[in-house]
Amino acid sequence: MLPIARKGTYLLGNLSTAVLLLDEQLQIEYANPAAEQLFATSLSHLQEQFATLFLRPDNNSAEDLKNALHEMHPYTRREAPIQVAGLTHGLFVDYIATPILNEETGEKQLLVELLPLDRMRRISREEGLLTVNHATKALVRGMAHEIKNPLGGIRGAAQLLERSFPSPEIKEYTDVIISETDRLGNLLDRMLGPTRMLDFRCINVHRVLERVRMILQAEILQTKTALIIERDYDPSLPEVWADMDQLIQVVLNVARNAAQSLLENPMPVQAGDAAPRIIMRTRALRQFAIGAQRHRLVCQVEIEDNGHGIRENLRETLFYPMVTGRAQGTGLGLPIAQAIMQKHGGLIECDSIPGRTVFRILIPIGPCPIP
């Protein structure tokens, strides 16, 4: 049996709700993992900071917290704006502040529970994305089946025509028919995505990123253009249970899109402008939900670029087949990558504004089976 104090820490550590414990000066004494994730920093960095640093100065939240602590009366606030380091936009949360009395020291403390409203919207968006992806996949499979049958007949007829009339002029036209039907067949196969069984193994996700980085650098060298690829890895990430080849394909599809977008449509060069840049970043997310499924630990791989961004009219349909913002694009890379991640129990998300586009590849982390 665990002691009561350890039980409390264990329970708080597994909550998906962010919890802060404040002292009488509104300094943070404790933050659970969900709060670390919300404020994008560690417990050691949060401790002894004033909670008012995260509150927007244009409202009375700080004064309300002080009154709740002084009067020992619970306080609830809806849609309160908070500030998080590294985010250009604010977050909105519902929070409940409950005053408690420390029986050992006699000091007043404030237990603050924060529920991010954007998380609920994100979960709803992810569930919609998964549903649409499943429906699109079923539609594509049905269309592919219906198209492939007549394509086979057309190809066979062209071959018979070529044998029946062994003329160079006829062969020239039958070769076009055969090559075009083969091209359409290959296009349908790509739309369907990988058909082989996945070979799941315990892999280091940084090996995947390094392989992709080397491929991109080789491709960039051929273009003789300047494109910087930065790495921001979390070395403490545990291994993930995944198919390495397929995961390389996912990251390569996303990173190659970013590189091609930067090279084909560079930002205007002005004084002080940064060079075209891609950042490959890894982080661990705790108590994180993918769709309706909550995971204790998730690996987040971010591919960030400083290009023009994705047009607003494309963002909602970005993962649909045949949707692309590039003149030379096929619109198949991202749908295929999304289908692969769904087989891994993960997801790909995208946020984009001019000057900063981030694709997030989310991979659940679980115990690797013992061979």
Q: With the CA atoms of 234, 235, 236 and 240 taken in that order, what torsion angle do they form, in degrees rounded to the nearest 10?
A: 90
Task: Check whether residue 205 and residue 321 sit in a common domain.
Answer: yes
How far is CA 340 from each of CA 62, 133, 159, 190, 239, rounded to the nearest angstrom?
46, 11, 36, 12, 18
Residue 36 lies in a domain: yes
> How much is the CA Rg of the chain, to the nearest whole Å?
26
Same domain, 210 and 126: no
pTM: 0.59
Cβ(112)–Cβ(96) below 8 Å: yes
Q: Do 218 and 70 belong together in one domain?
A: no
Burial class (CB in 10 A: 0-12, 13-18, 19+), 28: buried
Number of domains in the chain: 3
Domain check: are 351 and 245 in the same one? yes
Q: Cα(318)–Cα(351) distance, rounded to whole angstroms?
A: 11
Give the sign of the dihedral formed by CA 198, CA 204, CA 208, CA 214. negative
Instruction: Note whether residue 302 is domain-resident.
Output: yes
Residue 115 has what DSSP assignment?
Answer: E
| Domain carrying residue 333 | 201-267+275-364
**For every one of its 371 residues, what pLDDT tens digit does the chain have, with 9 covering 90 and above?**
445 556 566 677 777 788 999 998 889 999 988 888 888 778 888 887 888 777 766 567 778 888 888 888 898 888 777 777 655 456 778 888 999 988 778 888 999 998 877 655 665 665 666 666 666 666 666 666 677 778 888 888 888 888 887 788 788 888 888 888 887 777 676 666 555 677 889 999 999 999 999 989 888 877 767 788 999 999 999 999 999 988 998 999 999 989 988 887 766 554 345 688 999 999 998 877 777 677 889 999 999 998 888 887 777 777 776 556 555 555 667 888 888 888 888 988 888 888 889 999 999 998 776 65
> Could you read off the pLDDT of 193-216 as tens digits, one per residue?
555 677 889 999 999 999 999 989
Q: For the domain that residue 228 is a member of, what is the CATH number? A: 3.30.565.10
User: For residues 65, 69, 71 and 74, what is the CA-based torsion angle, rounded to 10 degrees?
Assistant: 70
Burial group, residue 13, by CB count within 10 angstroms (0-12, 13-18, 19+): middle
Which two structure tokens, joined as six digits, stand for 169? 């002029």
